[in-house]
Structure 1
Amino acid sequence: MQAAVTELPEPQLRALADHYDAAVAAKRRRLALGGVILIAAIGAAAWMGEVDPKKFAENFWRFPSYFISITPKLSLSTLWADLADWFWGIKRWTGLLLDTILIAYVGTLLGALAGFALCFLASANLVRSRTLVFVTRRFLEFCRTVPDIVFALLFVLAFGLGPLPGVLAIAIHTAGALGKLFAEVVENIDDKPLEGVVSSGGDWFEMVRFAVVPQVLSNFVSYALLRFEINVRGAAVMGFVGAGGIGQDLIEAVRKFYYSDVSAILLLIIVTVMMIDYFTEGVRRRLIGQERR
């Protein structure tokens, strides 16, 4: 038996329809206002950046032309000789790539440890002092707001050329980035284990150790691996300011117009980053899968 359909009175239907129309109109006004602000921001950015569409169109051909220039000339009949000539510095470049990976690894490790230590102080659900939470979050913002290459340049001036400035720069920037991500994970945990540890007499450190860390550890490792991928690419650029790694040879080849060397080094960097991305992606998926079980 079908239930009877009850119709609302006409005045009530009209009031609901008017309310709906008003809500739709308000949403459209907000969208229009947002679009105007966006267009104004783009125009202001273009004006401040001295964007010249005509100049861009006239010189756009230089971009593909450069990639054509760095493409090596390979012939099937002399392929091995051409490849040997293209990768003439493979031994040196491989060593510099290893330095780059180690710079990224050590910097990521130090930054992840610092972010791990600070994230709990930046979590509002663990710390009652609003001042401590505010100060910790602002410190993490400072660490991740300043570009890592700027930190690297400052450390090069302080400590000289070499991998140390790159490690320190990556560590500071990673601490700020991972500290924020870790804190957001901590603030979204289940509070029941926390209440259980506290009610059984545990102090703050025991609450973090036994109630918080087991819930967030897999996510922490996943974020740290993702950051390691980013830092490998960043470490390759650190050499531009003398902070070690393969970037030093890359910027030298670019400046001296050694086209074949540029393409060879870029190809080595791309292949290395792809391999690291593939490996860390598999580890992250496994960690997330184990957590869901």
Structure 2
Amino acid sequence: MIAIDIRSLTVSYGNRTAVDGLDLGVEEGKTCVLLGPNGAGKTTTLSVVLGLRTAGDGEVRVLGTRPRDVALRSQIGVVLQDGGLPMASSPAAIVRHFASLYADPLPVEQVMERLGLQHLDRAYRRLSGGEQQRVKIAVALIGRPRLLVMDEPTTGMDPAARRVFWTLLDEIRDQGVTTLMTTHQPDEVSTRADQIAIIHHGRVIADATPQALIDTAPVWFTCARHLDLTTLRQVLGEGFDVTEVEPGRYRVHGDVGVAQVSAINSWVTSHGHSSQDVTVVRSLEEAYLEMTGGAAW
């Protein structure tokens, strides 16, 4: 089943088009992450999925129905960037309040403990940014949602808290929960997401598994400075090029696979350098920068 089905979505703010014919499908039980520069249309897309904003054009279905269907409210857990929680209340009071709104919530103490909130008795407004994020996540999870929609949920979290978050997300995915989220941390989703959609200028320009996207990234390698690259270009053949971007750091252009990486290592060795001097780097961030022309997060 397709949990989220977006077809030709268009949303405008006055004369500015924020989302421009966007297509996206997310299968039930999968974790889909939206990556893209600020202003690309990620948050607007989430707002339409949640029924907070109306599509100017296009078709959107969430769990088989329209986003503003009242029946969806109890089935979706939400983490947004802005407010919505009582600033003077403690984390426990907030989570208990939201638990009371559901027929079969998770145990409050269990959720609080998993997110490291059990000892926080300060008012919400006095919590750090990372602590506030954890409270938002507790509220999103407490109602046993079928779908989680989260806008940069790990913002402000330290590494330990992010690790707990991703462990929880893995667990609820195993229970069949679908997640749609945004992030500015590509490295943390490269091994966690089932699907990554890169959004640029209001459109999905790439939609694949993390590894499939990483495989499209340019390859970098580091070695001795100012190598003569003429013969390496010949070894790699047509369709490939190598440039020294900065002293000792080289970029290989083209569809680089295992054979090309092996050829680079052999070439380095044959020119008097140890293959141990070669460090090949290929990452989701590099794929993103390549596809968006280096657009800032």
Please report the TM-score for the alignment, with normalisation by the length of structure 2: 0.20
Larger Rg over CA atoms: 1
- Flag the structure with higher helix content: 1
So what's the TM-score if we normalise by structure 1? 0.20
By percentage of residues, which structure has more strand? Answer: 2
